[in-house]
Amino acid sequence: MRFRATVAVATGALALSALAVPATQAAPAGDRPGVPSYGSATHQGSAAAPKGKARAAAEAPVITKTVVNGGKPIVVGATAVKKVTVSITASHPSGIADADAIIWIGSSLDDPDSFGFGAPAAFKCTAASATTSTCTQTIDVDPLWLLNSDSKTWNVGVWALANDNYSVQNDKFTKTNLQRLSKLDVNAAPEPVKKGGTITITGKLSRANWETGTYKGYATQSVKLQFRKSTSTAYTNVKGVKTSTTGTLKTTAKATVDGYWRWNFEGTSTTPAIIPAGDFVDVK
């Protein structure tokens, strides 16, 4: 497991600044920083009240839409920082001056055990009219700070500031899912093979282990073996196979015609689906 240096907040810029941390040391989850604050390009400090004045709901800016990662789960690999696009649409009679978002997990923003990511730079707002703007930016999700148990549903908090300096904040405006990147390979042999002969199809299903910065076999998962004739564009299911305790796959099949063999993993709530390119077998 890797050491997580203690810093004030886990924005992309600050998390990346925790340089020279050994890649094999462990640290408890309590070493992680808290949730970044709204309304600051660098998100320094705690999740306290953002700049701008609170106002009655009838007079506050209205956030109508927030889209995180195009509406898809956020899939994070073992080491690479994932840049997640966030867009916020808000309106107010005076127009929109600024917006911000955080993605976080925990009971509340005030809980020191809560954790989250914010954008490393200010959101850029584009006006659609005198009253409505859509503000966009990316949030850096760095696996250096993640535990494997973080592959679950996260809260999306949003904030908007009107030109008259009044703001609105919703810490649980919507949800997003974090998943551990999956990998899957396939090999069919021998190649070529005599018609009617037996071929062996092998492979391995693995997924990101955020705590070690590596990929580890995904055990006892259901995977489909599929085949496509070289004269066809469609794959058909041949059989179901479960991965071993180390994530490996192995089965046999009869070779009757030229074609492509592949595995199809349909994914789980914590790990995305993946289908590798088919492996061609020439039948003589």
Structure confidence at residue 51 (pLDDT): 54
Structure confidence at residue 59 (pLDDT): 84
2-16, 44-58, 261-275: segment of lowest average pLDDT: 2-16
Sign (positive or negative) of CA dihedral 186, 190, 196, 200? negative
pLDDT digits (tens, 9 = 90+) for 65-118: 999 999 999 999 999 999 999 999 999 999 999 999 999 999 999 999 999 999
Instruction: Report how far residue 131's alpha carbon sits from residue 96's, in angstroms, rounded to the nearest whole number.
Output: 7
pLDDT-based confidence at 15, cuts 50/70/90?
A: very low
Domains and CATH numbers, the chain: 12-179 (2.60.40.10), 182-281 (2.60.40.1940)
63, 168 Cβ separation under 8 angstroms: yes
pLDDT digits (tens, 9 = 90+) for 259-277: 999 999 999 999 999 999 9
Query: What's the whole-number average pLDDT of the chain?
Result: 87
pLDDT-based confidence at 53, cuts 50/70/90?
A: low
**CB-based contacts of 126: which residues, under 8 Å, 6+ apart?**
133, 134, 135, 136
How far apart, in Å, do the first and last CA atoms of the chain sit? 49
